[in-house]
């Protein structure tokens, strides 16, 4: 098999750990597989570089920022290749440019346009283990670009796609994807398999195992991705296309996201164009709105509620203060202590009554639902923050996720 292995910053945080990675790579090679390794920078290094730049200015030139940050992976790939060579496993380190990760020119969050991977193929043909810098690419203008936080996952998936690798193993500090946060639900179970779509929903709901764009990329090119622990041996969780087994399972996971706040505009004149004005203004400020609810009101007045990321709450408050006067609304309410509890599963498509079960379960626990949103494979409820863990446990039990 041809296997791409990606190790994150914690896995290469010091020389002892880099040696540990080298032993895992060597073992895979000894088992007869071809291996391509993708690495992040040492944990903490990117933060260190960012804070150096922030000592100068809080809005550093982005082209220069990318060049600065790209230094981190050069260190780890060189050190791993040095280790493998010293163990008798021929290896070469390749930067994003040398691999041919061609991106657009949007610095600090570039998108991959194509992956040449010629030198990686050539190395494999010569029995050399290629060690590739994650997170970085090169623009058509020959400038260094970076793919955004967590971009090394995307590098690994993109190289796996370009090489038509049999497997893309992402080594992290968790040993797979769970039915719920094991810190909340002791019966939480590691999933052997999960579909790309479910994983996307879980990632967007705050289960930060894999960078979202890497999951999209994997889905697009059908790359089989496995999430594994760097530190504990195990089978991990396989991300793959939907299959019959998956469809039998109604709910695959329960998550709880505490990073949203609820904003309510009370007494909005019920006129055409008002909602467009509100959400247009928010969007212009680069704030991403998640859920939106418009309550039916009396006397041509309506209440509009929506959620925004907790980090944007002050910015939202400022924008809304002006806007409320503009549109002639009564007042603004912001509720910070909320939790968004969600259930995810491709089986929902073919099973009815899932939403009803969710709502009645929450009701039976005395939990009031403030907002609801649904997609084909997900149902989310906003509830009082203090009930978040209780809700996750109850839903995990009612959908029998421990089995």
C-beta closer to its own copies: residue 78 or 327: 78
Question: Residue 70 has which token pair?
Answer: 């790209």
CA–CA separation, 235 and 239 (whole Å): 12
Which of these ranges, 138-146, 267-275, 332-340, 393-401, lies near its own copies under the rule CB under 8 A?
A: 138-146
C-beta closer to its own copies: residue 22 or 225: 22
# of chain residues touching its own copies (CB under 8 A) = 39
C-beta closer to its own copies: residue 60 or 148: 60
Single out the residue of 33, 74, 335, 397 in contact with its own copies (rule: CB under 8 A).
Answer: 74
User: Residues 8, 41: contact at Cβ < 8 Å?
Assistant: no
CA–CA separation, 15 and 299 (whole Å): 69
50 lies in the binding site for its own copies (CB under 8 A):
no
142 lies in the binding site for its own copies (CB under 8 A):
yes
C-beta closer to its own copies: residue 28 or 76: 76
Cα–Cα nearest to 228, from 189, 182, 163, 170? 170
DSSP strand pairing (371-375 vs 338-344): unpaired
78 lies in the binding site for its own copies (CB under 8 A):
yes
Single out the residue of 56, 272, 273, 276 in contact with its own copies (rule: CB under 8 A).
Answer: 56
Residues 6+ apart with CB under 8 A from 47: none
372 lies in the binding site for its own copies (CB under 8 A):
no
65 lies in the binding site for its own copies (CB under 8 A):
yes
Single out the residue of 11, 40, 70, 139 in contact with its own copies (rule: CB under 8 A).
Answer: 70
Which of these ranges, 88-96, 174-182, 209-217, 344-352, lies near its own copies under the rule CB under 8 A?
A: 88-96
Residue with tokens 């039916």: 296
Dihedral, CA of residue 88, residue 94, residue 95 and residue 96, to nearest 10: -130
Exposed/middle/buried for 261, CB within 10 Å: 0-12, 13-18, 19+? buried
> In the bound complex, what is the minimum distance in angstroms from residue 161's beta carbon to its own copies?
23
> In the bound complex, what is the minimum distance in angstroms from residue 189's beta carbon to its own copies?
39
User: Residues 306, 268: contact at Cβ < 8 Å?
Assistant: no
Site for its own copies in 14-43 (CB under 8 A): 15, 18-19
User: Residues 93, 133: contact at Cβ < 8 Å?
Assistant: yes
Which of these ranges, 63-71, 145-153, 255-263, 269-277, lies near its own copies under the rule CB under 8 A?
A: 63-71
C-beta closer to its own copies: residue 71 or 229: 71
Cα–Cα nearest to 218, from 172, 169, 252? 169
334 lies in the binding site for its own copies (CB under 8 A):
no
> In the bound complex, what is the minimum distance in angstroms from residue 15's beta carbon to its own copies?
4
User: Residues 6, 39: contact at Cβ < 8 Å?
Assistant: yes
Q: Could you write out the DSSP letters of every residue in 86-108?
A: HTT--EEEE-HHHHTEEE-S-TT
146 lies in the binding site for its own copies (CB under 8 A):
no
User: Residues 97, 78: contact at Cβ < 8 Å?
Assistant: no
CA–CA separation, 187 and 111 (whole Å): 39
C-beta closer to its own copies: residue 46 or 255: 46
Residue 322 carries which DSSP code?
H
Other CB atoms within 10 A of residue 225 CB: 28
Single out the residue of 12, 35, 81, 99 in contact with its own copies (rule: CB under 8 A).
Answer: 81
82 lies in the binding site for its own copies (CB under 8 A):
yes
Site string for its own copies, 276-295 (x = CB under 8 A): --------------------
Three-state DSSP at 154 gives: helix
For Cα atoms 230, 111, 175, give the angle at the middle one, nearest 5 degrees. 15
Which of these ranges, 69-77, 174-182, 198-206, 211-219, lies near its own copies under the rule CB under 8 A?
A: 69-77
Which of these ranges, 49-57, 210-218, 291-299, 316-324, lies near its own copies under the rule CB under 8 A?
A: 49-57
C-beta closer to its own copies: residue 75 or 167: 75
Residue with tokens 């690798």: 165
* Interface contacts to its own copies, rule CB under 8 A: 15, 18-19, 49, 52-53, 55-57, 59-61, 63-65, 67-68, 70-72, 74-75, 77-79, 81-83, 85-86, 91-93, 95, 97-98, 142-144
């Amino acid at each position: 098999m041809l296997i791409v292995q990606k190790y994150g910053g914690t896995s290469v945080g010091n020389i002892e750990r880099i040696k540990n990675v080298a032993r895992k790579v060597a073992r895979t090679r000894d088992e007869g597989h071809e291996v391509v390794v993708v690495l992040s920078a040492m944990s903490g290094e990117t933060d260190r570089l960012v804070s150096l730049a922030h000592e100068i200015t809080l809005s550093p030139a982005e082209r220069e920022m990318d060049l600065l940050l790209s230094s981190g992976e050069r260190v780890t790939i060189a050190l791993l290749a040095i280790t493998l060579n010293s163990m008798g496993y021929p290896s070469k380190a390749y930067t994003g440019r040398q691999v041919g990760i061609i991106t657009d020119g949007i610095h600090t969050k570039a998108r991959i346009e194509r992956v040449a991977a010629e030198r990686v193929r050539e190395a494999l043909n010569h029995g050399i283990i290629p060690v590739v810098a994650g997170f970085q690419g090169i623009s058509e203008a020959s400038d260094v670009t970076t793919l955004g936080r967590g971009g090394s996952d995307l590098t690994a998936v993109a190289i796996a796609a370009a090489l038509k690798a049999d497997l893309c193993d992402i080594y992290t500090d968790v040993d797979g994807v769970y039915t719920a946060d094991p810190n909340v639900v002791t019966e939480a179970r590691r999933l052997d398999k999960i579909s790309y779509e479910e994983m996307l929903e879980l990632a967007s709901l705050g289960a930060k195992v894999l960078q979202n764009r890497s999951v999209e990329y994997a889905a697009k090119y059908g790359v089989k991705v496995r999430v594994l622990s760097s530190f504990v041996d195990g089978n991990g969780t396989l991300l793959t296309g939907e299959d019959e087994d998956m469809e039998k399972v109604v709910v695959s996971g329960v998550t709880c996201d505490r990073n949203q706040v609820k904003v309510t505009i009370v007494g909005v004149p019920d006129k055409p164009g008002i909602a467009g004005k509100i959400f247009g203004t928010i969007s212009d400020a680069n704030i991403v709105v998640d859920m939106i609810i418009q309550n039916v009101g009396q006397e041509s007045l309506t209440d509009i509620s929506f959620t925004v990321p907790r980090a944007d709450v002050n910015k939202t408050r400022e924008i809304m203060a002006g806007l409320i006067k503009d549109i002639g609304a009564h007042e603004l309410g912001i509720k910070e202590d909320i939790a968004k509890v969600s259930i995810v599963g491709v089986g929902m498509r073919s099973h009815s009554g899932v939403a009803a079960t969710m709502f009645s379960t929450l009701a039976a626990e005395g939990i009031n639902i403030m907002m609801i949103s649904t997609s084909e494979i997900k149902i989310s409820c906003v509830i009082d923050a203090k009930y978040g863990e209780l809700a996750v446990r109850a839903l995990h039990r009612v959908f029998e996720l421990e089995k």
